[in-house]
Amino acid sequence: MNQDQWNGLLTVLQGEPVDPLPVGFIIDSPWLPGWAGISTLDYYASESLWVEANLKAIRSFPSVWFLPGFWSEFGMCTEPSAFGAKCIWQENALPFAERTMETAAQMAALQKPDVRQDGLLPFMLKRLGHALPAIEAEGHAIRFAVARGPLNIATFLLGTTEFMMAIKESPQETHALLATITDFLCDWIRLQKEALSTIEGIFLLDDLVGFLGKTDFAEFVLPYLKRAFHAIDAKVRFFHNDAHGLVCAPFLAEIGVNLFNFSFKHSLTQMREAAGESVTLLGNLPPRDVLAAGGPEQVRQGLREMRRSLGNRRVILSVGGGMAPGTSTANLQAFIEAAREK
């Protein structure tokens, strides 16, 4: 984000009225490589292709707030790789991290990685360091420390079904696992801030919290997300969960979250009621079925319908999730134009 965009984001978070409402999108490797005309593997493997794809996005849509902006990542392999997960790569598909553990004893015995040297983490920071002159020449800066959340990482290490069963069958070991992962996340967020002084925000993604009920959320999510989001002093605490979002919404203010991206299956009105007035909402047009698969007129109509229920405070127009593969330039332009309509 450039300085004007960052200042605008802070203005929205503070509850100041904004007209027209800003447009912001989460963009990363599911969308950027294909849109930029390169393979997914080339996007990960080449620093120059990675930065050019990101520069193309901000140049093509200069009014859009791309979040987190120049996201240095290796898909879902990023954090699991630090725990020793085998990463499987394909030319035009997202990578996959294999499980590393099977038993409750392994969960309890998990060792915290060294974020300065383990897995793909050093490559992420080196990529940002090498690209920084080009990013700054464009007037932008790295604003967010970014990581997957504790449950997201846990399910890659253990398996989704296995982790959900462990919550009920091995709660003590589950807490030990989540505590170790959260310690790791705090280290990783702090290292990103140490490496890049322009970081003043935290962006955590964890769809798995939407698989839990309220009681389990309060026990197995709330304390760990709260600790991770307070690893550094941040002006923006941005959370993404585009699974069932109503379970976490009432806890967002307590966690410290002030910006929330959620599923298009929850209306903005419904989420405002659940999350309260202090949280800025980022959403929530269907990303795949409308913005990617629909035509420009369908996008415009969807946005017009969404805006009817909105005020002009603490809302950023977006989709209910990240940018979907196949989303076209024409559809993005239609979204931006509809956002500016009076």
pLDDT (tens, 9 = 90+) of the chain, 342 residues, equals 999 999 999 999 999 999 899 999 999 999 999 999 999 999 999 999 999 999 999 999 999 999 999 999 999 999 999 999 999 999 999 999 999 999 999 999 999 999 999 999 999 999 999 999 999 999 999 999 999 999 999 999 999 999 999 999 999 999 999 999 999 999 999 999 999 999 999 999 999 999 999 999 999 999 999 999 999 999 999 999 999 999 999 999 999 999 999 999 999 999 999 999 999 999 999 999 999 999 999 999 999 998 887 777 899 999 999 999 999 999 999 999 999 997
Which architecture characterizes domain 3-340 according to CATH?
A: Alpha-Beta Barrel (3.20)
* Domain regions of the chain by residue span: 3-340
Residues 6+ apart with CB under 8 A from 286: 264, 302, 319, 320
Joined tokens for residue 209: 């919290």
Contact (CB, 8 A) for 105 and 173: yes
Predicted local distance difference test score (pLDDT) of residue 235: 98
Predicted local distance difference test score (pLDDT) of residue 309: 75
Predicted local distance difference test score (pLDDT) of residue 93: 96
Rounded Cα distance, 235 and 240, in Å: 17
Rounded Cα distance, 226 and 224, in Å: 5
Residues 6+ apart with CB under 8 A from 330: 296
